[in-house]
């Protein structure tokens, strides 16, 4: 079997906030066009990990990072144009954030930031992203109204549309379903199944079943260490390699 | 079913007391203000007219109007804000959006806070030493305006930072996540949503700059200057000028036999100008808040 090329390589990553180390030297790869599920209880370093990948970790004062995160073979710490790096990675935060702009401007913000000015190009891109995020039909008649006035579930899909608006190759979702209802969650999961054809997805979730439904491989992160990383059918089987995985997945601890 | 317990009765009594005491305090706040305003206006009534605003004082300031002082105050306030507002707002943007939490920026913060607490007479002495003497500007509108600017600057910085900090951080993070620079984030999201608070803070400093006597007394305010009625270009930047607060002090304490209505009328004009500016701030804030986006 041919192993697909690696999109992200994490090598011996250590991360500390001040004196407190939260990620204790983890290594793993994310392959091209796979969905990697990341499960684990709160405080296990899932969000910090994502923030290392797009380097928004550096907005937090006092962080100390060791090891390497490579995106397409390039060490992100050495990337000159960090904004280009972030454009390559779509990031969806746990709580929906509609920017206090119109729905249209929410999606057009990133392309405008990178210099896209043509109205027709922007129109096309906005429509495409909103369609991909399964929001277009609900908002196409009111693109000029405020994004913040949408419902929570709609705002989360707007957030996804915004994350797609800079045409990323990687999409990171950080517990995207935490603040939205199950029906919307299922709709977004359908969206992700479509998107996996064209991009690599890291799905951080504390809904174990969500990882089981979507992820090709699943990583169980606990207290800043990888307990297990394997094909989802192994992780969620009766006999994963580590007993703790079985217990966490089946709700016995965590 | 819902029988009242002793604790419930006590809680209800405390609730009633708290409500009335707090209401009383709020009224106590308004009453003196109303009394002052009414008293001033009644006393000032014989002298108040449009002519009082536009006429220069005559007969050794014992008659006529206050035009030169009103004009001088406008000059001082406008110039001092033209200096302090851009510096203060941009410095606050730096401190709130760019500065990291290190000893240097903590030092700046400390300086800003302490500067805001310095009495105006100290600013006056600083202005005298720095602008009038050391910088060789001499006693002038420019020196007085700069002194007022130094006085208002720390408060503008503090109020602007407060306004910027009221924009939730997730908005910024959402922008950074899509590859926006800090400046793009500030332009697109932070400033549009804090501008009402920023402007309110700046406008409130207008009233402070207009009301202070001490800082301008040593640096550029004048006892008397002959000015044509309604002449709006009466002063040059390097000339001294009259000012309302200074004029009030002079006619109330330094000139004998001023008819009683004139100082009161001057005070009413000063108070009216301040209230007008504050009302503008409130209206502007209501207008901009109605466009607030979350």
* SS3 (DSSP) at B231: coil
- Asked whether residue B294 carries a pLDDT value surpassing 70, the answer given is no
Distance from C-alpha of B99 to C-alpha of A47, rounded to nearest angstrom: 24
- Asked whether residue B75 carries a pLDDT value surpassing 80, the answer given is yes
Distance from CA of A90 to the nearest CA of B (A): 7
Q: What pLDDT digit, counting tens, does each position of B168-203 carry? A: 999 999 999 998 999 999 999 999 889 888 988 898
Q: What pLDDT digit, counting tens, does each position of A90-125 carry? A: 999 888 888 888 999 999 999 999 888 899 999 999
Cβ B105 vs Cβ B277: under 8 Å: no
Per-residue pLDDT band for B278 (boundaries 50, 70, 90) equals confident
Examine residue A24 and state whether it is found in any structural domain, yes or no.
yes
Per-residue pLDDT band for B84 (boundaries 50, 70, 90) equals very high
Examine residue B174 and state whether it is found in any structural domain, yes or no.
yes
Examine residue B232 and state whether it is found in any structural domain, yes or no.
yes
Examine residue A179 and state whether it is found in any structural domain, yes or no.
yes
Cβ A34 vs Cβ A211: under 8 Å: no
A51, closest residue in chain B (CA to CA): B177
The reported pLDDT for the residue numbered A97 is 85
Examine residue B90 and state whether it is found in any structural domain, yes or no.
yes
- Asked whether residue A251 carries a pLDDT value surpassing 90, the answer given is no
Distance from CA of B225 to the nearest CA of A (A): 52
Interchain CB contact of B103 with A (< 8 Å)? no
Domain that holds residue B244: 50-289
**B contacts of A95 (beta carbons < 8 Å):** 170
Q: What pLDDT digit, counting tens, does each position of A233-249 carry? A: 888 888 888 888 888 88
Number of domains chain A is built from:
1
Q: What pLDDT digit, counting tens, does each position of A190-210 carry? A: 888 888 888 999 999 888 889
Interchain CB contact of A116 with B (< 8 Å)? no
CA A193 to chain centre: 14
Query: What average pLDDT does the segment A75-99 reach?
Result: 89
Query: What average pLDDT does the segment B43-60 reach?
Result: 85
Interface of A with B in 125-164 (CB under 8 A): 146, 148, 159, 162-163
Examine residue B283 and state whether it is found in any structural domain, yes or no.
yes
- Asked whether residue A75 carries a pLDDT value surpassing 60, the answer given is yes
Examine residue A226 and state whether it is found in any structural domain, yes or no.
yes
Which region holds residue A3: left if phi is over 0, alpha if psi is between -120 and 50, else beta?
beta
**Mean pLDDT over the full length of chain A:** 89
Distance from CA of A121 to the nearest CA of B (A): 18
Which ranges in B128-260 belong to alpha helices (H)?
A: 141-165, 169-177, 182-185, 191-211, 214-217, 244-253
Q: What pLDDT digit, counting tens, does each position of B20-50 carry? A: 999 999 999 999 989 999 999 999 888 888 8
- Asked whether residue B12 carries a pLDDT value surpassing 60, the answer given is yes
The reported pLDDT for the residue numbered B148 is 93
**Mutation to test the B interface, candidates A62, A79, A99, most B Cβ within 10 Å:** A99
CATH code assigned at B76 = 1.10.3720.10
Q: Give the H or E element holding residue B75.
A: helix B67-93
**Mean pLDDT over the full length of chain B:** 88
Examine residue B15 and state whether it is found in any structural domain, yes or no.
no
Query: What average pLDDT does the segment B59-80 reach?
Result: 88
The reported pLDDT for the residue numbered A22 is 92
Examine residue B189 and state whether it is found in any structural domain, yes or no.
yes
Examine residue A1 and state whether it is found in any structural domain, yes or no.
no
Interchain CB contact of B193 with A (< 8 Å)? yes
CATH code assigned at A164 = 3.40.50.300
Query: What average pLDDT does the segment B208-225 reach?
Result: 87
The reported pLDDT for the residue numbered B292 is 61
Number of domains chain B is built from:
1
Examine residue B239 and state whether it is found in any structural domain, yes or no.
yes
* Four-CA torsion B154, B158, B160, B162, nearest 10 degrees: 180
The reported pLDDT for the residue numbered B139 is 87
Provide, rounded to the nearest whole percent, the portion of chain A with pLDDT above 70. Answer: 98
Q: Give the H or E element holding residue B86.
A: helix B67-93
Examine residue A129 and state whether it is found in any structural domain, yes or no.
yes
Low-confidence winner among B88-92, B153-157, B219-223 (lowest mean pLDDT):
B219-223
Cβ A125 vs Cβ A165: under 8 Å: yes
**B contacts of A162 (beta carbons < 8 Å):** 174, 178
Between chains, do A113 and B192 touch, taking CB under 8 Å as contact? no
- Asked whether residue A254 carries a pLDDT value surpassing 60, the answer given is no
Examine residue B166 and state whether it is found in any structural domain, yes or no.
yes
Domain that holds residue A184: 6-249
Per-residue pLDDT band for A170 (boundaries 50, 70, 90) equals very high
């Amino acid at each position: 079997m041919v192993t697909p090329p690696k999109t992200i390589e994490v090598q011996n990553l250590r991360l500390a906030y001040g004196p407190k180390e939260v990620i204790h030297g983890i290594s793993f790869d994310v392959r091209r066009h796979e969905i990697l599920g990341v499960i684990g209880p709160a405080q296990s370093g899932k969000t910090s990990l994502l923030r290392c990948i797009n380097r928004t970790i550096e907005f937090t004062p006092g962080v100390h990072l060791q090891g390497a995160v490579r995106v397409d073979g390039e060490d992100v710490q050495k990337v000159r144009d960090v904004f280009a790096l972030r454009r390559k990675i779509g990031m969806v935060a746990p709580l929906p954030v509609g920017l206090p702009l119109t729905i249209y401007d929410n999606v057009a913000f990133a392309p405008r930031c990178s210099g896209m000015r043509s109205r027709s190009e922007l129109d096309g891109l906005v429509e495409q992203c909103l369609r991909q995020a399964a929001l277009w039909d609900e908002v196409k008649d009111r693109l000029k109204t405020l994004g913040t006035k949408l419902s929570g579930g709609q705002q989360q899909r707007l957030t996804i549309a915004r994350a797609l608006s800079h045409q990323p190759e990687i999409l990171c979702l950080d517990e995207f379903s935490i603040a939205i209802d199950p029906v919307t969650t299922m709709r977004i999961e359908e969206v992700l199944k479509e998107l996996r054809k064209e991009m690599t997805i890291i799905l951080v979730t504390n809904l174990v079943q969500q990882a089981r439904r979507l992820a090709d491989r699943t990583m169980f992160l606990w207290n800043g260490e990888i307990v297990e990383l394997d094909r989802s059918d192994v992780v969620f089987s009766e006999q994963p390699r580590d007993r703790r995985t079985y217990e966490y997945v089946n709700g016995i601890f965590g | 079913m819902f029988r009242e317990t002793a604790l419930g009765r006590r809680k209800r009594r405390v609730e009633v007391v708290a409500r009335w005491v707090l209401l009383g305090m709020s009224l106590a706040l308004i009453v003196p203000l109303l009394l002052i305003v009414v008293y001033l206006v009644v006393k000032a009534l014989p002298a108040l007219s449009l002519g009082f605003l536009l006429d220069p004082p005559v007969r050794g300031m014992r008659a006529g109007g206050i035009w030169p002082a009103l004009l001088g105050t406008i000059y001082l306030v406008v110039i001092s804000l033209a200096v302090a507002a851009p510096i203060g707002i941009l410095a606050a943007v730096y401190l709130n959006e760019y500065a990291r939490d290190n000893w240097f920026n903590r030092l700046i913060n400390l300086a800003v806070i302490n500067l805001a607490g310095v009495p105006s007479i100290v600013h006056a002495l600083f202005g005298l030493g720095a602008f009038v003497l050391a910088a060789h500007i001499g006693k002038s509108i420019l020196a007085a305006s700069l002194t007022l600017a130094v006085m208002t600057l720390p408060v503008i910085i503090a109020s602007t930072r407060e306004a910027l900090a009221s924009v939730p951080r997730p908005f910024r993070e959402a922008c950074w996540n899509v590859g926006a620079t800090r400046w793009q984030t500030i332009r697109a999201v932070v400033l549009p949503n804090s501008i009402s608070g920023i402007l309110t803070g700046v406008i409130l400093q207008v009233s402070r700059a207009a009301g202070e006597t001490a800082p301008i007394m040593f640096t550029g305010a004048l006892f008397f200057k002959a000015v044509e009625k309604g002449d709006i270009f009466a002063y040059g930047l390097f000339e001294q000028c009259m000012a309302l607060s200074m004029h009030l002090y002079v006619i109330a304490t330094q000139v004998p036999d001023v008819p009683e209505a004139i100082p009161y009328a001057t005070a009413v004009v000063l108070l009216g100008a301040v209230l007008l500016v504050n009302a503008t701030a409130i209206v502007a804030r209501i207008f901009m808040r109605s466009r607030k986006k979350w």
